[in-house]
């Protein structure tokens, strides 16, 4: 079916409400939904003028509107809102004296827990956490299987976690 501006105008009158509800369900914002409905019809008109032939205008229009709404939601997720930016601006970049002391105590507990580990377990944990080595690399270095390297790392993490929990950190 060849779409003319008059055909699109008639389609607008008959389909605007349906398309608006479709878009509104996705974006959850009336003003944005209004804009996206307008954009959908403009895109339909552009596609009709380029190709001169759109087979099923209602379906094509629905697809355009849905795609525009989904793209809008993606853009919203990728950008910080002004509220979010305000929250970050309120945060004090300098930790309090209490926080510094608590962090130092937790770090000391972590070092003490690591020092109490068997040599291979401690090395595996250090290589994984500090050296960012893969389990396969740890296994090769320590002369154990990858699975055993994973068990050593897990064991080390468990000891450190338990010590921190015991201390309430």
DSSP letters along 119-131, please? HHHHHHHHHHHTS
Residue 152: HSE in the Cβ half-sphere, 13 Å Cα cutoff = 27
Nearest C-alpha neighbor of 73 from the set 25, 122, 37, 128: 25
Say what the pTM is.
0.47
Are residues 24 and 57 located together in one domain of the fold? Answer: yes
Q: Is residue 92 in some structural domain?
A: no
Q: CATH number for the domain including 75? A: 1.10.1740.10
Are residues 77 and 119 located together in one domain of the fold? Answer: no
Are residues 101 and 80 located together in one domain of the fold? Answer: no
Residue percentage of the chain with pLDDT more than 90? 55
Between vectors from CA 150 to CA 149 and to CA 154, what angle results, nearest 5°?
120
Question: What range defines the domain where residue 34 resides?
Answer: 5-86
Residue percentage of the chain with pLDDT more than 70? 88
Are residues 71 and 18 located together in one domain of the fold? Answer: yes
Are residues 67 and 136 located together in one domain of the fold? Answer: no
Q: CATH number for the domain including 138? A: 1.10.10.10
Render pLDDT for 87-112 as a digit per residue (tens, 0 to 9).
Answer: 666 666 787 888 889 889 999 999 99
Please state the domain count of the chain: 2
């Amino acid at each position: 079916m060849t779409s003319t501006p008059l055909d699109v105008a008639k389609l607008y009158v008959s389909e605007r409400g349906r398309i608006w509800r479709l878009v509104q369900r996705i974006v959850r914002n009336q003003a944005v939904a209004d804009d996206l409905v307008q954009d959908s019809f403009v895109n339909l008109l552009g596609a009709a003028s380029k190709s001169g032939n759109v087979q099923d205008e209602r379906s094509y229009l629905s697809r355009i509107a849905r795609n525009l709404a989904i793209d809008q939601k993606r853009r919203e997720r990728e950008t910080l809102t002004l509220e979010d930016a305000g929250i970050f601006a309120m945060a004090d970049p300098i930790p309090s004296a209490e926080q510094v002391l608590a962090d130092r105590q937790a770090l000391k507990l972590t070092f003490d827990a690591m020092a109490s580990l068997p040599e291979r377990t401690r090395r595996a944990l250090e290589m994984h956490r500090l050296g960012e080595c893969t389990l396969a690399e740890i296994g090769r270095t320590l002369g154990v299987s990858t699975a055993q390297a994973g068990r050593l790392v897990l064991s080390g993490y468990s000891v450190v976690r338990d010590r921190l929990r015991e201390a309430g950190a």
